[in-house]
Structure 1
Amino acid sequence: MATPIVQVNRLNRNQGPFKEVERLFCFIGQGETGRGSLHMVNTDTDLDAVLGKGESVLKTQVEAAKVNAGQNWNACVFVLDGVLTWKEAVDYVMEQQSVEGFVIVDPVTKSTDIEAMQTKQAAVMAEYMRPTLFLAAFRKLDPAADTWAIYTEAAIALLTGLRADTVSVVPYLWGHELGTYAGRLASHAVTVADSPMRVATGNLLGEWSKKPQDKLGRPVDRSILKALADARYSVPWWYPDYEGMYWTDGHLLDVSGGDYQVIENLRVVQKAMRRVYPLTVSRIADRRLNSTPASVASNESYFMRPLFEMAKAVEILGEVFPGEIEPPKDGDIVISWPTKNKVEVYMAVRPYNSPKSITCNLLLDLKNYA
């Protein structure tokens, strides 16, 4: 007769919190101090100690990001040493740290530089299963040689014909735009679903009142900014009779009609990708995921967990603060079995509408009802 056996197993249902990668950006650029190293920085960091007391494009952008991101800002900085390229720096960082995106502060000079960023993003995804994005910059205007016509023509030519839907490019007009943009995206006061255009986020911080001028003495105006924005650059913006400097869309270099023309669409999908990945890994060769109706229903809820969490809204004093996406609906997930051992999961991510063009029509009523 067999002896009694008691066994107690500890099961893992994968219900814990996900690692927060969003809002963490890595700045890469030339510098004199800490070269060839990766530095972690936050609101407490003395940037003079880490990046040197001298001025540099890298330090300027990190300072601008620090100011505009506000509370609880964190970032990492890789200082190029004149030997390593930014591509090699990305590889180094990926071995040390997972980040939402890379901020390449040294201006790009040709279209192939931007294509290389899109290609690098695809390589990182293939090797590490980490969705990322790239922020890049176009050169400053030369006030001794450039008119605004010459500058905008060169800027537009750089992006013409490019498709890079994980790359966003900023022109250096004032000189600290790229860091300001990265800081605005990293702010914990808003979500990844919010456009950098959002005025309620607050105005841009830093020195904006002195407008850059071309060699003819013409200061930058909104017609120049609009031309750059129409060419898919992300640029600062101001409104007549409304104090402060703000931002336009976070443009990505997607095709006309593409889903990823603005950065908030990419960020919400990439956030969902990061969270569904570990859930997917944990189901490998697990017979709890099978083709029976009960299993399909159970696993629909299992895989939709990140979207349910991203959709949570808050209501206070009658005002609703929506989640990052709309709550998932019936039919927003489909689990398909192409073969006996291969599963495909399709999930719909539905961002909220966001007004970027508002028209108010006023009517005059002169009827006399007396």
Structure 2
Amino acid sequence: MLGKVTVNALNLQQGEFPTVEKFFLFIGVGPTNRDTVLFLNTDSNLDTELGSAASEIKTQISAARSNAGQNWACAAIPVADGTAWAAAVDLAMAQDVRVEAIVVCTPVTAAAQLTAMNTKAEDINTTYGRRVFFIAQSIAIDPTPSTGKTWAQFITERTALTSGLSAYRVSVVAQIYANSIGIYAGRLCNYGTTVADTPMRVETGPLVGVDQTGLPADKDGVKYNNAHAKALNDQRFAVPQLYADYPGVFWSDGQTLDAPAGDYQVIENLRVVDKAARAVRLVLIGLLGNRRFNSEPIGEAWAINKLMRPLREMSRSYAFQGIPFPAELKPPQDGDVAINWITRTQVEIFMKARPFEIPKDITANIVLDLSAPVA
């Protein structure tokens, strides 16, 4: 027998996971580059890309860019008819445009449109393995004294959009400002936050480009206030909100149309699980046909270590001078990944993701200490 040496360069799949988080697709009416996928960032000239005149899509993208700040980027498809958004989504998917969310700038007028968005999100996952959610908006209030609406009438009409609807991959914005949906989308893409943060986060700063003087009024001249914000929020709309004697305008929770008691009633829960799932899917693809992953203890331990990698990478918190900077998830623990062999070739995996707590309703109690001083 002759001596023989073989050197194999093994690929252990330790590279970076591709990311789509904070990269959104905007679809809306615009006069320039219609039915074309555009790629925009903070350096883009929106007058050149989207036309010099004001348009539905340009208004929302401009607001998103201002509220997202540094490193913002998006994809956009101007269309002639915003209600035909599904064809634009299909165009983007066919051109391999990978995004975290799809923002439909044209206001919806019926619950069926929101159901269609949720269905489209599920179909995209089925066809392409891409997890997306939709952001939609309702029409604005008509403040015309003779023919317009009161806030009570406006809220009642908006209630019909979301009442009885279960569509957890859709988040609906009440159009309080003309650029509300852009503000919300930009706030979700701000690189000072993570996908695990709520758009309510005050430390992110007030909404950019709007203020309290620009809040709309109804037909009776009553200005939008927190009573209206609460009523709309109770109907699962994401809305601007105010804090008494605190300057600026802020945002409410980012609600979705998940069913009562669902795990994904707020956008940060959906986003953090979607991010983990995108990475886990790539790990699972790499495990197909690999006999290192077998039912022996060492085989399962090896696979569990591979599967925990996305959870570990999303759980790297740090502190600086006593200030905590929490990660997107709490560190995984033993038992957070479990493997069940159904047959010799079919395996089922269970994984647990642990998000951090977020204070959204804070109560402080102050007591007096009237005890006598100690000599």
Which residue of structure 1 aligns with residue 135 of structure 2? 135
SS at 2:152 equivalent: helix
Amino acid at match of 2:101: G
What CA distance in whole angstroms lies between the structure 1 residues aligned with 2:57 and 2:152?
Answer: 28
| Residue in structure 1 matched with residue 10 of structure 2 by the alignment | 11
Aligned-partner SS, 2:164: coil
Deviations 1:27-59 (A, max 9, x none): 001111111101000000111111111111211
Q: 1:83 to 1:347 in 2, by over 3 A?
A: closer
2: CA distance, partners of 1:99 / 1:214: 37
Is residue 208 of structure 2 the alignment partner of residue 205 of structure 1? yes
C-alpha distance in 2, partners of 1:358/1:238? 16
Q: Do the aligned partners of 1:147 and 1:216 also contact (CA within 8 Å) in 2?
A: yes
Shift, 1:84, TM fit: 8.8
Q: Distance in 1 between matches of 2:214 and 2:189?
A: 25
Aligned residue among 243, 250, 253 for 1:249: 253
Selected match of 1:320 from 304, 319, 324? 324
- Could you tell me which residue of structure 1 aligns to residue 92 of structure 2? 93
Alignment of 1:28-107 (within 5 A): 28-82=27-81, 85-96=84-95, 97-107=97-107
- How much identity, in percent, do the aligned residues show? 44
Output the CA distance in 2 between the equivalents of 1:60 and 1:369: 63
CA distance in 2: counterparts of 1:81 and 1:366, whole angstroms:
71
Counterpart secondary structure, 1:157: helix
Given that 1:192 and 1:268 are in contact with CA atoms closer than 8 Å, whether structure 2 keeps it comes out as: yes
Query: Which runs of no fewer than 5 residues in structure 2 stay unpaired?
Result: none
Of 290, 293, 297, the match for 2:297: 293
Distance 1:82 1:157, change over 3 A: closer
Shift of the alpha carbon at 1:217? 0.8
**SS at structure 2 position matched to 1:85:** helix
Question: Helix, strand or coil for the counterpart of 1:243?
Answer: strand
- Once the 2 structures are TM-superposed, how far is the Cα of residue 81 of structure 1 from its aligned partner? 3.4
* 2:136 paired with 1:154: no
Which region of structure 1 is more displaced relative to structure 2, 272-281 or 315-324? 315-324
Q: Distance in 2 between matches of 1:304 and 1:152?
A: 45
Amino acid at match of 1:110: A
Partner of 2:367: 363
Match in the other structure for 1:20: 19
Q: How many residues align?
A: 369
Code of the aligned partner of 1:328: P
Q: So what's the TM-score if we normalise by structure 1? A: 0.98
When normalised by structure 2's length, the TM-score is 0.97
- Counterpart in the other structure of 2:168: 165
2:232 aligned with 1:228, yes or no?
yes
Q: 1:83 to 1:332 in 2, by over 3 A?
A: closer
1:40/1:74 contact within 8 Å kept:
yes
The residue aligned with 2:284 is: 280
Separation of aligned partners in 1, 2:188 and 2:64: 9
Sort the Cα spacing of 1:115 and 1:44 in 2 relative to 1 into closer, same or farther, 3 A: same
In 1, are the aligned partners of 2:28 and 2:82 still within 8 Å (CA)?
no
Partner Cα distance (1:347, 1:83) in 2: 39
Equivalent residue number for residue 195 of structure 1 = 198
What letter matches 1:203 in structure 2?
P
Deviation string, structure 1 residues 163-193 (Cα, Å, up to 9, x no partner)? 0001000011111110000000011111000
CA distance in 1, matches of 2:141, 2:103: 20
Shift of the alpha carbon at 1:310? 0.2
For the residue of structure 1 that corresponds to 2:214, the secondary structure is: coil
Tell me the CA shift for residue 83 of structure 1: 9.4
Deviation, structure 1 residue 82: 3.8
Aligned pair in 2 of structure 1 residues 246, 344: CA closer, same or farther (>3 Å)? same
Kept in 1, the 8 Å contact 2:29–2:82? The answer is: no
Gaps of 5+ in 1: none
Q: 8 Å contact 1:21–1:100 — kept in the other structure?
A: yes
Q: Deviations 1:309-343 (Å, cap 9, x if unpaired)? A: 00001111122211101000111110110111011
Query: Following the alignment from structure 1 to structure 2, what is the Cα–Cα distance between the partners of residues 193 and 146?
Result: 37
Task: Quote the residue 2:188 is aligned against.
Answer: 185
Query: SS state of the match for residue 27, structure 1?
Result: strand
C-alpha deviation, 1:369, in angstroms: 3.6
SS in 1 for 2:238: coil
Alpha-carbon deviation of 1:85? 2.1
1:157 offset after TM fit, Å? 1.3
Partner Cα distance (1:356, 1:365) in 2: 29
**Are the aligned partners of 1:36 and 1:84 in contact in 2 as well (CA < 8 Å)?**
no
